[in-house]
Structure 1
Amino acid sequence: MKIAVVCANGKAGKLIVQEAMERGLDVTAVVRGENRTVAKQVIKKDLFDLTADDLKDFDVVIDAFGAWTPETLPQHSTSLKHLCDILSGSSIRLLVVGGAGSLYVDPAHTAQVMDGVDFPDMFKPLATNMGKALDELRARSDVKWTYISPAADFQADGAKTGKYILGGEELTLNGKGESVISYADYAIAMVDEAISGEHIQERISAVAE
Structure 2
Amino acid sequence: MKIAIIGAAGKAGTHLLREAILRKLDVTAILKNAATLSVENVSNIEKNLFDLTKGDLVPFDIIINAFAPLPGEEHLHISAGHHLISLLGGTSKKLFVIGCSGCLFVDEKKTKRLMEEEEYPKDLLASSKAQLQNLRNFEKSSIHWTYVIPSAMFDSEGPRTGHYMKGEEHMLVNSQFNSYISYADFAVAMLDEIEKSEHHNTCFTVVSENVTAAS
The normalised TM-score by structure 1 is: 0.95
Looking at structure 2, the residues matched to 176 and 125 of structure 1 have their Cα atoms a distance apart, in angstroms, of 29
Q: What percent of counterpart residues are identical? A: 37
CA distance in 1, matches of 2:83, 2:130: 16
Deviation at 1:69, TM superposition (A): 1.8
Does the Cα contact within 8 Å between 1:154 and 1:183 map onto a contact in 2? yes
Residues 106-160 of structure 1: per-residue CA shift (max 9 Å, x gap): 12211000001111112111211111211222111x1110000000000111121
Counterpart of 1:47 in structure 2 is 49
* Residue 75 (str. 1) matches residue 76 (str. 2): yes
Distance 2:53 2:148 in 1: 24
Question: How much has 1:20 moved relative to structure 2?
Answer: 0.6
* 3-state SS of 1:101 partner: helix
- Distance in structure 2 (CA, Å) of the matches to 1:194 and 1:54: 20
Shift of 1:200: 1.2
**Which residue, 63, 66, 73 being the options, matches 2:65?**
63
- Aligned to 1:175, what secondary structure does the other structure show? coil
**Deviates further, 35-44 or 189-198:** 35-44
CA distance in 2, matches of 1:76, 1:208: 26
Which residue type is aligned with residue 17 of structure 2? V
Contact in 2 for aligned 1:172/1:207 (Cα 8 Å): yes
SS in 2 for 1:145: strand
Instruction: Give the unaligned 5+ runs of structure 2.
Output: 210-215
Equivalent in the alignment of 2:193: 193
Change (3 A) 1:49 1:190: same
Residue 106 (1) aligns with residue 107 (2): yes
Moved over 6 A (4+): none
Q: Which residue number in structure 2 is paired with residue 12 of structure 1? A: 12
5 Å-filtered alignment, 1:82-161, equals: 82-140=83-141, 142-161=142-161
CA contact (8 A) 2:148 2:190 kept: yes
Does the 8 Å CA contact 1:17/1:37 hold for their aligned counterparts? no
Residue 176 of structure 1: CA displacement? 2.0
* Residue identity matched to 2:70: W
Structure ranking higher in helix proportion: 2
Tell me, what secondary structure is at the counterpart of 1:13?
Answer: helix
Q: Which amino acid letter does the alignment assign opposite residue 55 of structure 1?
A: L
In the aligned structure 1, how far is the partner of 2:149 from the partner of 2:191? 14
| 1:95 aligned partner, one-letter code | F
2:34, 2:44 within 8 Å by CA — same for their partners in 1? no
**Structure 1: gaps of 5 or more residues:** none
Q: Which amino acid aligns with 1:136?
A: N
User: Is the 8 Å Cα contact of residues 98 and 150 (structure 1) preserved in structure 2?
Assistant: yes
Contact preservation (8 Å) 1:8, 1:64: yes
Partner of 1:174: 174
SS of match in other structure, 1:125: helix
CA deviation vs aligned residue, 1:32-71 (integer Å, no higher than 9, x gap): 112514252111110001111111121100000111322x
Letter in 2 for 1:56: V
